[in-house]
Structure 1
Amino acid sequence: MNWDTLFTLTNGWALAAWAALAFLPRGPKTLALILYLGVALLCLTYMTALIGVMSGGMDPQGPRAATDFTTLSGVMALFDTKGGAVIGWTHYLAFDLFVGMWIARDADQKGFSRVAQFPFLFLTLMFGPIGLLGWLVVRDRRARAQTKAQAKAA
Structure 2
Amino acid sequence: MWQAMFSVTNALALAMWVVLVALPRRPFPLALVLYGGVALLCLAYTAGLALVVSQGGLDFASFTTIEGVRSIFATDAGVAIGWTHYLAFDLFTGLWIARDADAKDFSRLVQVPFLLLTFMVGPVGLLAWFVARERKARGPGGWSRKGRNFAG
TM-score exceeds 0.5: yes
Identity %: 57
Evaluate the alpha carbon distance shift between residue 66 and residue 25 of structure 1 in structure 2; reply closer, same or farther with a 3 A threshold.
same
Paired AA for residue 109 in structure 1: A
Q: Which amino acid aligns with 1:47?
A: T
1:22 paired residue number: 21
Whether the aligned pair in 1 keeps the contact of 2:104 and 2:136 (CA below 8 Å) is yes
Q: What is the aligned-residue RMSD (CA, Å)?
A: 1.6
Q: Which residue of 1 aligns with 2:59?
A: 66
- What TM-score do you get using the length of structure 1 for normalisation? 0.86
Q: Is the Cα contact below 8 Å between 1:46 and 1:87 reproduced in 2? A: yes
Q: Is the 8 A contact 1:69 1:75 kept in 2?
A: yes
Q: Does residue 81 of structure 1 match 2:75?
A: yes
CA distance in 1, matches of 2:16, 2:58: 34
Instruction: Report the equivalent of 2:136.
Output: 142
Query: How far is the alpha carbon of 1:144 from its aligned partner?
Result: 2.8
Per-residue Cα deviation, 1:5-64 (whole angstroms, up to 9, x for no partner): 11111000000000000011111121111100100000000010011111117xxxxxx6
Q: Say which SS state the counterpart of residue 69 (structure 1) adopts.
A: helix
When Rg is computed on C-alpha atoms for both structures, the one with the higher figure is: 1
For residues 20 and 5 of structure 2, the distance between their equivalents in structure 1, rounded to whole angstroms, comes to 22
TM-score by length of 2: 0.87
CA distance in 1, matches of 2:46, 2:95: 21
Structure-2 separation of matches of 1:46 and 1:26 = 27
How big is the shift at 1:65? 6.3
Residue in structure 2 matched with residue 132 of structure 1 by the alignment: 126
